Chains A and B, each alone.
Chain A
Amino acid sequence: NAGVTQTPKFQVLKTGQSMTLQCAQDMNHNSMYWYRQDPGMGLRLIYYSASEGTTDKGEVPNGYNVSRLNKREFSLRLESAAPSQTSVYFCASSEVFQGSNQPQHFGDGTRLSIL
Chain B
Amino acid sequence: GQSLEQPSEVTAVEGAIVQINCTYQTSGFYGLSWYQQHDGGAPTFLSYNALDGLEETGRFSSFLSRSDSYGYLLLQELQMKDSASYFCAVIYNQGGKLIFGQGTELSVKP
Q: Do A and B come from one complex?
A: yes
Q: Which residues of A contact B (CB under 8 A)?
A: 4, 31, 33, 37, 40-45, 48, 50, 56, 58-59, 88, 90, 94, 96-97, 99-109
Q: Which residues of A contact B41 (CB under 8 A)?
A: 108-109
From B48, B94, B101, A103 is in contact (CB under 8 Å) with B48
Q: Which residues of A contact B40 (CB under 8 A)?
A: 37, 88, 109
> Total interface residues on B, using CB and 8 Å?
26
Number of A-B contacts (CB under 8 A): 68
Given the known inter-chain contacts A41-B103, A103-B48, A104-B45, please indicate yes or no for A48 contacting B87, CB distance below 8 A: no
Residue of B with least CB distance to A102: B96
Give me the 7 closest cross-chain CB pairs, A-B, nearest first.
A97-B96, A42-B100, A103-B45, A101-B48, A106-B42, A43-B100, A42-B102
Given the known inter-chain contacts A42-B103, A101-B33, A101-B48, please indicate yes or no for A94 contacting B96, CB distance below 8 A: yes
